[in-house]
Amino acid sequence: MNSANHSTGSQIATPQNGRSNGNGRQKPAGLFRRASRYVRYRLVTPMLRARHPAEYSARAVLVGVICGLMPIIGQSTIVLAVWLVARRFNWGFNVVVAALWTFISNPLTTAPMFYGFYVTGQVMMGNWNDLSGFDRFVTMSRDLVNDQLGLWDQVKVISRLLFLDWALAMWVGFIPWAALCGWLGYRWSLKVVLAYRHMREKRMQRRREQLAAIDALKA
């Protein structure tokens, strides 16, 4: 009896299948499933349910990924501007799907993405002596605590670091990543949409054959 109670108590205390334990914490597997389900419903499902040609949705993913990687805020506005211009050149895409795919830039991914762009830009510009940017940050800090610098000079020091040094490196590093991720997003989404529509067509064909067989039996 005691061993049975002990076994039952162990089953209750141990979280299963990603459920929360007694402390309200959730296993990583459960968090991963929730995140993957959210991404599927937020990004993949709208792409699959779009009624446009597959290339139309693939171009939307291409634009959404590139705009989502931009080291700025308000990427959805950039998507809308690109869509308005692209329509004049008969290069349409699903603007809703594209705006949704800018979600790849979010509070969890923005910092590592921007830093990766910065390091890539430093490499591309040949700044091998200070790839991390730490030395420039130390120099800026020393200049800011210098009593000889006035308020306007301090503003210029910070602005130069943010908008010339760091921003320039990030935009330079953004270019190869945008080209690579945009191309991969286009190829992947095109393949997924075509495979989904082919599977759906086969399922509908089997359904039509079943209905025809039922009608033949009734006749």
User: pLDDT of 131-158, one tens digit each?
Assistant: 776 666 566 556 655 656 666 666 666 6
State mean pLDDT over 194-219: 80
The pair of three-digit structure tokens given for residue 166, joined into one six-digit string: 């760091």
**Distances in whole angstroms, Cα of residue 24 to Cα of each of 19, 133, 203:** 9, 40, 43
Which of 118, 120, 99 has the alpha carbon at shortest distance from 43? 99
The pair of three-digit structure tokens given for residue 148, joined into one six-digit string: 């000889």
* Pairwise pLDDT comparison (90 vs 152), residue with the higher score: 90
Burial bucket for residue 132 (CB in 10 Å: 0-12, 13-18, 19+): exposed
User: pLDDT of 19-34, one tens digit each?
Assistant: 445 555 555 567 667 7
CB atoms within 10 A of CB 77: 13
Check whether 76 has a pLDDT greater than 50: yes
* Pairwise pLDDT comparison (156 vs 175), residue with the higher score: 175
The reported pLDDT for the residue numbered 196 is 87
* Pairwise pLDDT comparison (147 vs 90), residue with the higher score: 90
State mean pLDDT over 73-84: 90
For residues 60 and 97, is the Cβ–Cβ distance under 8 A? yes
For residues 93 and 60, is the Cβ–Cβ distance under 8 A? yes
The pair of three-digit structure tokens given for residue 150, joined into one six-digit string: 């006035």
The reported pTM is 0.69
State mean pLDDT over 64-79: 90
The reported pLDDT for the residue numbered 31 is 64
The band of 175, judged by pLDDT with boundaries at 50, 70 and 90, is very high
The pair of three-digit structure tokens given for residue 86, joined into one six-digit string: 């692209």
The band of 186, judged by pLDDT with boundaries at 50, 70 and 90, is very high
The rounded mean pLDDT for the chain is 77
Check whether 84 has a pLDDT greater than 90: yes
Q: How far apart are CA 133 and CA 118, in angstroms?
A: 9
Check whether 200 has a pLDDT greater than 60: yes
Encode burial over 163-202: b for 16+ CB neighbours within 10 A, e otherwise.
eebbbebbebbbeebbeebbeebbeebbebbeeeeeeeee
Check whether 124 has a pLDDT greater than 80: yes
Sequence-ordered alpha helix ranges (H) in the chain: 2-13, 28-39, 45-49, 54-69, 75-88, 95-101, 110-124, 134-144, 151-159, 167-218
